[in-house]
Amino acid sequence: KNPVVAVVGATGAVGREMLDTLVRRNFPHSEVRALASSRSAGSKVEFGSKTLTVQELTEDSFVGVDLALFSAGGSTSEKFAPCAVKSGCVVVDNSSAWRMDPAVPLVVPEVNPDDLSWHKGIIANPNCSTIQMVVALKPIHDAARIKRVVVSTYQAVSGTGQKAIVELENQVRQLFNGQESTNSVYPHRIAFNCLPQIDVFLDNEYTKEEMKMVLETKKIMGDDSIRLTATTVRVPVFYGHSESVNIETEKKLTSKEARAILSQAPGVRVLDNPGEKIYPMPILAAGEDETFVGRIREDESIENGLNMFIVADNIRKGAALNAVQIAEVLLERGLLRIA
């Protein structure tokens, strides 16, 4: 019998994409339930040609459910993922609540699918910026061993959720109408601006988003020796995160070799023809599944270094698609059960 699937946070930016992705990839299911807060209970969400009535998330929501995809924020996951597991349901969680728990696999299917074998009910979906970066780093690491990474990001507002999409739209409208802009989601105006703050500041003066990239990369790549430093920036783009990535490797890779390796890598599309002005951009990656890599060139300031520009749809590969791909591997490998 095909699994009963629940999407938690089904009315949100990621939850809606999860439903679309299940349809688009023909994920086998006998039933799909849309769950959200009491605020949206009774409202409708689209599921292919059907509409689903949203139900309120409660501790009893997971009875008879085999697989739950969560994207309703960290506190919701902390509270309800264990309830789901108790009901025998396997959880793929998009929040940051469980990512660094040593008992929880943190998985990007192109990079570390085998980590799914030891799950105990919860599998964490990594941070959006981390996912697209490791898809490109893994084949480089396998070929030349990465010693150090310096990354700066240009992240879309959709990563913050539906409210942030509306905030950017409203500010653009306000400014074009000669009005003062108002903000409630971000600490400053995001329209026609860049914010070098994503999530909260930590004691070490980095933001939480920056440290997520550092810690999650080591866990997914299964290599604590990779040194990484990040600056994460919110930009006025609706869909698609961009990243400028500098990589220092143990072994020398020419840009040509790196391009050849990345062209063969799963989930990657190399878009790198400067002569024709072809390179990755959010407007190209939005609505696509692959991670786009371009501007591949040697870092002439060090012996073994590469620079590249990596762009992906943060709602797709950065969230919903990666979660559904995890579910596909679980199903294929008979891991949709709690050991």
Q: Which residues would be at the binding site for ligand A2P (CB under 6 A)?
A: 9-13, 15, 36-37, 39-40, 57, 72-73, 76, 161-163
Structural contact between residues 207 and 129, judged by C-beta atoms closer than 8 angstroms:
no
Cβ 152 to ligand A2P, closest distance in Å? 24
Query: How many residues does the structure list for the chain?
Result: 339
Please spell the DSSP secondary structure of 236-254, one letter per residue. S-SS-EEEEEEEEESS---
Task: Report the residue number, 15 or 126, with the smaller CB distance to ligand A2P.
Answer: 15
Cβ 302 to ligand A2P, closest distance in Å? 40
Q: Which residue of the set 89, 119, 128, 141 is catalytic?
A: 128
Cβ 165 to ligand A2P, closest distance in Å? 8
Residues facing 150 on adjacent strands:
229, 246
Structural contact between residues 285 and 176, judged by C-beta atoms closer than 8 angstroms:
no
Q: Which residue of the set 89, 119, 141, 241 is catalytic?
A: 241
User: Is 241 an active-site residue?
Assistant: yes
Task: Report the residue number, 144 or 164, with the smaller CB distance to ligand A2P.
Answer: 164
Residues 6+ apart with CB under 8 A from 296: 255, 258, 259, 262, 270, 272, 306, 307, 308
Structural contact between residues 22 and 5, judged by C-beta atoms closer than 8 angstroms:
yes
Task: Report the residue number, 36 or 133, with the smaller CB distance to ligand A2P.
Answer: 36
Nearest in space to 151 (alpha carbons), one of 56, 264, 24, 241: 241
- The number of beta carbons lying within 10 Å of the beta carbon of residue 276 is 7
User: Is 128 an active-site residue?
Assistant: yes
Task: Report the residue number, 93 or 272, with the smaller CB distance to ligand A2P.
Answer: 93
Strand order in the sheet with 4-8: 55-56, 31-36, 4-8, 67-70, 90-93, 122-124
Burial class (CB in 10 A: 0-12, 13-18, 19+), 75: exposed
CA distances from 200 to 38, 42, 193, 208 (A): 28, 34, 19, 6
Task: Report the residue number, 126 or 161, with the smaller CB distance to ligand A2P.
Answer: 161
Axis-axis angle for helices 128-144, 255-264 (nearest 10) = 120
Task: Report the residue number, 72 or 149, with the smaller CB distance to ligand A2P.
Answer: 72
Cβ 204 to ligand A2P, closest distance in Å? 27
Cβ 193 to ligand A2P, closest distance in Å? 21
Cβ 202 to ligand A2P, closest distance in Å? 22
Structural contact between residues 55 and 61, judged by C-beta atoms closer than 8 angstroms:
yes
| Number of residue whose CB is nearest ligand A2P | 12
Give me the active site residues, please. Answer: 128, 241
